[in-house]
Every structure is written in C-alpha cells, then in structure tokens.
Structure 1
Amino acid sequence: MVRLRRLCKLVAAVALTLIGPPSVAAEDYRPVFETLRAADTRLQTLGERLAVAAAPWCRTVQPALGIAIHGPDQYLGDARAAAIAHFGFTSPIGVAGIVPGGAAARAGVRADDSIGSIGYRSTATLAPLPSDTKATAPLAAFDRFAATLPPSAPLRLVLERSGATLSATLAPVAMCRARFEQRDSDAVEASADGILVQISAGLMNELDDDGVAVLLAHELAHNVLEHRRRLDSAGVRRGLLSGIGRNAGLFKQTEVEADILSVHILAKAGYDPALAGRFWRTFGPKRAGGLRSATHPGWRDRAATMAAEAGRVAEAGRLDTLLAARERPADGDWQAILVRAR
C-alpha cells in the first residue's frame, strides 16, 4: 500500500499537516507510523492464521514467515526520510511487525530489523515485475521469492539491527500461497486475485478481529478454489459487464462457493464455525450494499448459507466435495448451492 493518502488522514487526525512549509518534524510522524505498523501486523497475524489452517487444501503453498513486511518505497514525500529514521531501514525490506508465536518470533526476529537477505538471495537483487505497483514492488518481489522456498525447511535471514549484522534461522510451517495487503481506501472493499488478498483500510478500522477474519477467510477461499482461473476459463467479462447476464451468474457462483468454504477455513483456524453467519446478519444490513450486489447474492441468503454450512463442518466427505469444484468448469448455477433465508 502506498502510504501517502493514509498518512495524510492519520496525520490530520492528530492535528498535523503534510502540506506546505514547514516540513513535519520526524518525531511528529511517530504516532502515525505506529498506527500503520499496528494495522500491518494485525492483518498479517489474522491472514497467516487462516492461510496456515487452509494449507492442506491448497495446491500451492509457501513458508509462513510470521513477518509483516514494509519498505521505504511505500512512504512518499517528506514521510520517506522520517520513515527511514523511525523504522531504521537499511534495505528495501523491513520488518514492520512480528506475528505472535510465528516462525520469526520463535527465531528472535524483531520489529524494525531490516532484511538483507532471505535464503541465498540479497533483498536488493530481487527484481520486480513490470505489473507490480511501484511503491510495493520490492514487497511483491520478496514475497514471490519466499514462495519458491520449501515451505517447511529451515530458512536463514540476514538482518541489520541497530548497525549490527546478525542472522536468524526460521522454522516455518506451510501456508497457502497468499500475500495480505491493506488497500488505502475507506470503501467497503475486499478482493483476491489468486495470490494477493486485499482488504480496505476502512473495513480494517471498522471491524473487530473476528469480522476481519470472516472477510479474509472468504477472500482466501476464492484463492483456494482457484476462482480467477476458473472464471477466466469460462470467458467471464469483468468491469462494467460483470453484473450482467451470464457474467453475473458466474460471479455469484464463485461468491457462494467462497462463502461455503470460508466456514471450513474459519473452523480449521480455531474459530466458531457459526461466526460467519452471525457476522453477516449484523454486517449485511449496514454495509452489504458496498459489496457489488449485482455480482453477489443478497446478504440474508449469504448468512443463511453460511449458517447452514456451520452444521456440516464435521460431515464426512464434505470438504472433498467442495474442493472438487476446482476440477469442474464454472457453469453459473449459483442457486443450486445457495441456502435461501426463511
């Protein structure tokens, strides 16, 4: 996420300004930077918990490092120099926060360490793709390389900490191939593209951890079920045409499938399987209109479908049936798998 708009909003909230002379003193950014750090760490902690739980159902996995990463390229304008000083960046990748109990925490990695190398590669030599967003390109390149490493093998990081170089050997576990990112938007937005899972800052600020987990589990379920590939194979039209005719049916099918599998992901991660249904009965009346109603079933039916699925979590063969959808072309028959609200 580019840090400029979010920085402006947060700085304004503490009666500071980023516009015009004199420049904001580095120390005045501190509460803003710490707010961003907390959000990054929260998102990575919740996302990694779900991605580790779902790993047995994913056909592509990666090491769960237990690190929320960020980099100096995300901080624009006067904020960049202040961020480099505050976070101690000495490489393109820094540790924003540590997932409690995760691989990095167990290996002694700390927030504000800079990552000089991962495995056998210097972070300075990790090349971005032309499609990467400029501000987050180093993060995406780091994530892509990490995903090529054995998911459960010891992994060495070379770190810079307060002018000293040290190493840490992580003992990661497998997680679904996924990268979690907060989108700099106040809109009601969450999405997945097969790897990247995004949720808007507005939703992160509005929801408690359980609510964020419900939305992340749904987006992660899209990736587990390989919906982008299946929609592309079905010739779906996106953009303005996504909610019209056959396109709408195809999208709704994937939304219902993701709702159903999300209940199992939540349960596997240690949440109450009834959480998703309860969440939608509260969230739906207030905010569901922001989630593209033309391509999503109504919130009442979504809540009913997830509530019904909570009773099937322990059903023998249920997961095999759900995951088998990956082998079938999307046909748009979403009503056959939807439970109608009474």
Structure 2
Amino acid sequence: MAGLEQVPQHHVVPHDVVLPDTQRRIAEALSPNTERAYRRVAADFDAWCRSNDRAPLPCSPATLADYVAHLCDEGKAPKSIQQAIAAISTLHRRAGHPKGTPDSQAALLVLRGHKKALAAAGKGNKQAPPITVSVLQKMVARTPADTLAGKRDRLVLVLGMALAGRRSELAALDIDDVQPDGDGGIDILIRASKTDQDAVGEVVNVPAGANPDTNAVQLLHDYLAALAERGVTSGRLLRAVSKLDKLFRYERLSGAAINEIVRRAAVRTQLPNAAQYTAHSLRAGFATQAALDGVPLGHWARHGRWNPTSPVPHGYVRAAEKKTHNPLKKMGL
C-alpha cells in the first residue's frame, strides 16, 4: 500500500494484542482494590482453564458458562460470581479484545439458575442490615468514649453513615482530607470512589450533629486530640490500635478492619443477627433513613456518590415506601 513500508512478518505485532507497557498503564489507572480483585479472578480462571484444557484469553462463551457452573458448584455467592464474570470481561477488553468478548449470555443464565436454586433452598442473597439513626445512636452509646480505640470506633460509625461511606473510602481518608467548613461543620475530601474512577475527587459536607453522641464534628475533634497526644497530626486518619490501646503508628485500617469495627459494635449493642452487620450497613442505613424521611432521592444519592443511573438508590426508596405508604395503615386492621 502506498506510503506504508512493508514490515517483515516476524516483526509484526498482532493488532489485538496489548503491549506489556500499555497493560501496566491500564493497571495503574485502576484502584488497588480493583486491581487485586482482577488479579485474583485472573489467577483462578487461568488455573481452572488449564486443568480443563480451555483457552482463557480469549475464552469462548461456552468456556465462561462452564466456569460459572463450576463456581456455582463450589457454592460461591451470586454477587461473587457476577463480579467474576465482569472481571473476566474487563480482562478481555484490557487485552485488546472487542467489547462483549466473551459473550456472557449463557453464563448469566447459569447464574440466574443458581440464584433460583438458592432462593428455593432459603439461602437467597442476604443484604447487610441497614443501620438507621436510632440504631446508630444505640451502637455509639455502647462504644467506649475514654479509649483511643473507642474514640476511633465511634468516629468510624458516625462518619460511615454521615458520608454514606464505602469502606474503601473510609480507609483511604487522611487527616488533611478533613477541614472545617467555616460554618461549624466539616468538609471531607473523598479522593476517589467506585463512581469516580478518574480520581477527580469530591468534597462532602457534614454539618454538626444535633445529638452529642452522633455529632461527627465533636467525635472528630476528640479523636484528633487523642492522636495529637501521641504525636500524630498528619497522615492517615483511621489507624490500627492494639488491644493495649497502643497506636500502630504506620498502619492504616483496612476495609476488613472497618467491617469488624461495625460488627463488634452490633454485638455489643445486642442487635438481632449482629454477625450480619458490616460497614455497608452504615451506607445502607443512610439511604434507608433518607428515604424514610422523604429526602429527595437526587439530593441523598448525590451526597452518597451513587451513580444516578443505578437502580440501587431506587431500591432503597421502594423499600422505605413499603413502610411509609403501606396501604394497611389506612385499613383499620
């Protein structure tokens, strides 16, 4: 072809293969948690393909469907299987394959059957119970206020709800991310989130609370003062604390540790099914409380950084309306 020099065949790179340096740049664009999840899925899928004489990349729709059936047989949760399907699809796109490779229609039908079987057996998907304001107040009241760990845990509980925070967002906070807003409240910078993959960042305003036990501004002040007494005035906000209430100076709380803080508080408060409570209970509680209180969906969804096209916020509204607009309330039963 005119204008193009003929390249010897052995120097030609396939048009659908992404070079190693490009793969590295793609990986760096993802959050560390997402990248770890993709690596885990890739390793598991590759091992299964090798043991079953299948090609992992690109894989056929039949291979993906069979792998999903394998995950179902292993008793994996539907959400985990859905994430595996999405990760495998993303790994294909990262490798330069067209969007929609592999076709996941058959795999999703296998997953649907798995969900139906679990539901029929009474093992359907169990959501983390929401922590509404009244429940949050009880949990904070049962959390010690005179220890470093207690001050941190009280802040985790209240900030988790006030920010509608994902556990990854809470774990990523630095002290400098929290600033006074000039009106008695605080502005908190969320550097990146699930719906902000470009890490543009978003500032969330948290006003002072009316209840002393759930006033995020005062709880933050108490916790920062305790850190300052130990010589810490910058760096990570939520830190690991030993059983002797000693600070692990260089350790940031993990998402799993934040889950455990919420679970322990639920156990202390003797909540029903306490073991089911997680950090997501705080985020779900924010949405549930806002929906029950009639706050416009657009306002609280924006505050909580929900994707406006997601069906999730509407699900909280429908659940709340089952109580607020229950027709039985007008029937005199």
TM-score range, shorter chain: under 0.3
Normalized per residue, the structure richer in strand is 1
Structure 1 or 2: more helix by fraction? 2
Question: TM-score normalized by structure 2?
Answer: 0.23
Could you tell me the TM-score, scaled by structure 1's length?
0.23
Report which of the two structures shows the higher radius of gyration computed on alpha carbons: 2
